[in-house]
Every structure is written in C-alpha cells, then in structure tokens.
C-alpha cells in the first residue's frame, strides 16, 4: 500500500471519530432536577416510555414478579412515600419531576440485587428483600435506586456506549418506540449496567438525603452495605457492589452524608 492510501484512511478515521464526538456532545442536556449538564440521547419522557416498555421483559429475566401482592404493595408504598417527599422537595425548588416511578419485587430468590430502568421502573429481588431486616434498610436500597433514575446514570451510560460504538463506525439511533429486538437489546444492556464509583456515591447520598426527609434512620444505609458485603457482594451481577468503591470507603462517605443530612 502506498503512502497516500494510508493518509486517506487516516483522514476517514479522523472524520469518523470527529462525527462520533459531535453526535455525543450534540446530546448534551441539562438534567431537569439537578441542573447538571449530561450527555444523554433520550428525553426524560422517552426514558419513562422505554422503561415502561422494557419492564415486563426485565421482570421475566428474574423469574417474573414475586407472586405475593402484599409484599409488592409494601415495597410500592415505601417507594411512593420516598417519591412524595422527593416531589415536595423538587416543587419547593420550583421544578417538576418528569419521571414516573413504580416499584416491583422480582421472584428471583438467589440473585441479591436491586436496579432501576431509566425513567423510574425500580426492582428489588426477593433474595435481597429477604436479607433486609427493617423498612429503614429497604428505604436505603430504594432511595439509592431512585437516585440512579434522577441522576440519569443509565442514560448516561447508554449514551457513552453508543459513543464508543460510533467511534467504531457503528452508530445506531434509538427510536422512540421500540420493537421486540430493541427491547431485548435495551434489557440486555440494562442488565449488564455497571455504574462508576461516583454514580454509586451520588446515589448513596441521594438515598440518605431522602431517607432522612421521609423519617427513616439513615444509619440503615450502612447496614445495607454490611448485608451486601456479607452476602458475597462483589459478584458480577450485583449492581450494588460490582464496580463500587470498597465497602469501607463507601461507609466513610455514607457517614459523612448522614452527618450532613441527619438531624
């Protein structure tokens, strides 16, 4: 191959990289609740719609919904209590909450996990619920997951994934309404989602803030960390522990937040 052939390839490569960067930063949005500038490719309303569409398949991946309605209602009631407090707080700051939250217990009795789809569909497995000893601890888990939704961590991750695909020359557009294969992709991606250290610390802080405001004991967040660490946290599938700061470091941060928000 001659020299000019290499140059042409280089130029094409640079243009493709440049286009990927452009489309990534073209997605910058201001988070309606935190004011943070973020790279996301969906509006909050699209996140809600896609989350709702993907929720049944997500449940399917974890053995369906836990069959006891009373248990489902218990988690929904607690989740809605946190959301009511959150909405009041958001309103007092002159903003509105564009997300639509719902809370589900999954039948899976082996996988100790909780997670959130973009837009507000939140799940906890029966396995994790069974490990929790108080509603304060449950509020810690649910509050943390609500934090991931509000900070739009999944959407940021998905935008980044697309960004890297774009760099590889395979950018794909996300349509508003999803087909079966898109839902499958979306669920697969959401299942593999690993948040960074800062995302986890941010969600811990969010959880603690609203636990306190809703009248729960924020020290229960420390107990949740201990329960997760004891039950073999750190497994690949565990959203709570996967890419996390070490539990010891995390607990130090949690104590700082409790001192900040606690009464």
- Quick one: 186 or 195, whose CB is closer to Zn ion? 195
Which of residues 20 and 155 has its CB atom nearest to Zn ion in the complex? 155
Q: What are 13's two structure tokens?
A: 């490569």
Give the nearer residue to Zn ion in terms of CB position, either 140 or 166.
140
* Distance from C-alpha of 99 to C-alpha of 74, rounded to nearest angstrom: 21
Minimum distance, C-beta of residue 221 to Zn ion, in the bound complex (Å) = 12
DSSP-derived pairing of the beta strands 102-106 and 121-125: parallel
120 vs 166, which CB is nearer to Zn ion? 120
CB of 132 to Zn ion, least distance (A): 16
Residue at token pair 């395979």: 170
Q: Smallest distance from the beta carbon of 14 to Zn ion, in angstroms?
A: 37
What does the alpha-carbon distance between residue 146 and residue 101 come to, in Å, rounded to a whole number?
A: 8
Q: CB 147 → Zn ion: shortest distance, Å?
A: 8
The dihedral region occupied by 35, where left means phi > 0, alpha psi between -120 and 50, and beta the remainder, is: left
Q: Within 10 Å of residue 6's Cβ, how many Cβ atoms? A: 10
Written as six digits, the tokens of 197 are 């250290």
> Measured from the CB of residue 125, what is the shortest distance to Zn ion in angstroms?
14
How near is the Cβ of 148 to Zn ion at its closest, in Å? 6
Using CA atoms, how far apart are residues 125 and 133, in angstroms rounded to an integer? 15
Radius of gyration of the chain (CA): 20
- Across-strand partners of 123? 104, 115
Distance between CA atoms of residues 35 and 33, nearest Å: 6
Which residue's CB is nearer to Zn ion, number 166 or number 205? Answer: 205
For Zn ion, the closer of residues 88 and 246 by Cβ is 246
For residue 106, what are the β-bridge partners?
65, 125
How would you label 19-41 residue by residue, b for 16+ Cβ within 10 Å and e otherwise? Answer: ebeebbeebebebbbeeeebbbb
Least CB distance from residue 240 to Zn ion, whole Å? 6
**Shorter beta-carbon distance to Zn ion: residue 136 or 200:** 200
Q: Where along the sequence are the contacts to Zn ion (CB under 5 A)?
A: 200
């Amino acid at each position: 191959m001659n020299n000019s052939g290499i140059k042409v390839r280089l130029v094409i490569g640079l243009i493709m990289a440049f286009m990927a960067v452009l489309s990534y930063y073209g997605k910058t949005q201001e988070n309606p609740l935190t004011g943070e500038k973020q790279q996301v490719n969906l509006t909050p309303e699209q996140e809600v719609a896609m989350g709702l569409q993907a929720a049944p398949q997500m449940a399917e991946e974890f053995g369906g919904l836990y069959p006891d309605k009373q248990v489902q209602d218990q988690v929904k009631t607690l989740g809605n209590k946190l959301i009511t407090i959150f909405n009041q707080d958001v309103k007092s700051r002159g903003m509105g909450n564009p997300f639509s939250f719902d809370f589900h217990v999954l039948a899976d009795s082996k996988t100790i996990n909780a997670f959130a789809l973009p837009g507000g569909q939140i799940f906890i497995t029966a396995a994790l619920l069974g490990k929790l000893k108080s509603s304060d601890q449950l509020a810690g888990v649910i509050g943390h997951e609500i934090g991931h939704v509000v900070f739009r961590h999944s959407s940021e991750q998905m935008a980044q994934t697309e960004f890297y695909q774009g760099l590889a020359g395979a950018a794909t557009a996300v349509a508003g309404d999803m087909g079966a294969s898109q839902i499958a992709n979306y669920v697969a991606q959401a299942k593999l989602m690993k948040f960074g250290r800062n995302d986890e610390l941010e969600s811990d802080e969010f959880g603690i803030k609203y636990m306190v405001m809703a009248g729960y004991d924020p020290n229960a967040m420390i107990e949740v960390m201990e329960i997760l660490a004891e039950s073999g946290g750190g497994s690949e599938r565990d959203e709570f522990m996967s890419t996390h700061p070490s539990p010891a470091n995390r607990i130090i941060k949690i104590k700082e937040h409790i001192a900040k928000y606690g009464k």
